[in-house]
Amino acid sequence: MIMGIMTDLLQDGFFAAVAAIGFAAISNPPRRAYPCCALLAAVGHALRFGLMHNDLMSIHIIAASTLAAFSIGVLAVWLANLAKCPAETCFFPALLPMIPGMYAYRAIEALVMCLYHQEEEVFNHCLYLLAYNGFTCTFIILGLVVGANIPVFLFKKMSFKVTR
């Protein structure tokens, strides 16, 4: 049981790290920032996965994403000094694997279904799906942005020391 959970966490973190390296490559940071981006993505995504799939207390994806983004932000401020680049350079690619693509896709799908169905009951169901998926997607993204940026402002002196 424990080995299965650890395997799932490591697998989740590994694939998030690979995705973060890919996202970092298109934004062209210094090469010394790539390991930081990968580590931050692995830790943050695995933390979100662990919080959401914990048997004792399963946390909703919005709160789990916000907490994971906060941990990414805290680690990014600390690792930015080692990578000698701004914290944003490290945490932005690490946050991208946590963008809720399925919720956005389902929201757009529900919007299209609203446009095609005339029956009130089906339209109301599609409108419900649009609202649920749209709000969930919006609040996950908002949680990612706020959660990752709070540590930058809390540790302002440490965060901006790198950019001088």
**In total, how many domains does the chain have?**
1
Q: Which residues contact 140 (CB under 8 A, 6 or more apart)?
A: 61, 62, 65, 98, 99, 100, 103
> Mean pLDDT, to the nearest integer, of 82-103?
90
Tens-place pLDDT, residues 105-160: 999 999 999 999 889 999 999 999 999 999 999 999 999 999 999 998 888 766 66
> Mean pLDDT, to the nearest integer, of 86-90?
87
Q: Considering the domain boundaries, does residue 123 fall inside one?
A: no
* Crossing angle of the two packed helices 34-52 and 87-95, in degrees rounded to 10: 50
Q: Considering the domain boundaries, does residue 112 fall inside one?
A: no
Q: Considering the domain boundaries, does residue 120 fall inside one?
A: no
Q: Considering the domain boundaries, does residue 19 fall inside one?
A: yes
Q: Considering the domain boundaries, does residue 88 fall inside one?
A: yes
d(Cα 95, Cα 117) in Å, to the nearest integer?
36
d(Cα 58, Cα 53) in Å, to the nearest integer?
6
Q: Considering the domain boundaries, does residue 83 fall inside one?
A: yes
d(Cα 37, Cα 112) in Å, to the nearest integer?
36
Tens-place pLDDT, residues 26-57: 988 888 899 999 999 999 999 999 999 987 88
More confident residue, 18 or 82: 18
Q: Which of 16, 11, 41 is nearest to 3 (CA)?
A: 11
Q: Considering the domain boundaries, does residue 72 fall inside one?
A: yes
Q: Considering the domain boundaries, does residue 41 fall inside one?
A: yes
Parent domain of 47 = 2-98+143-161
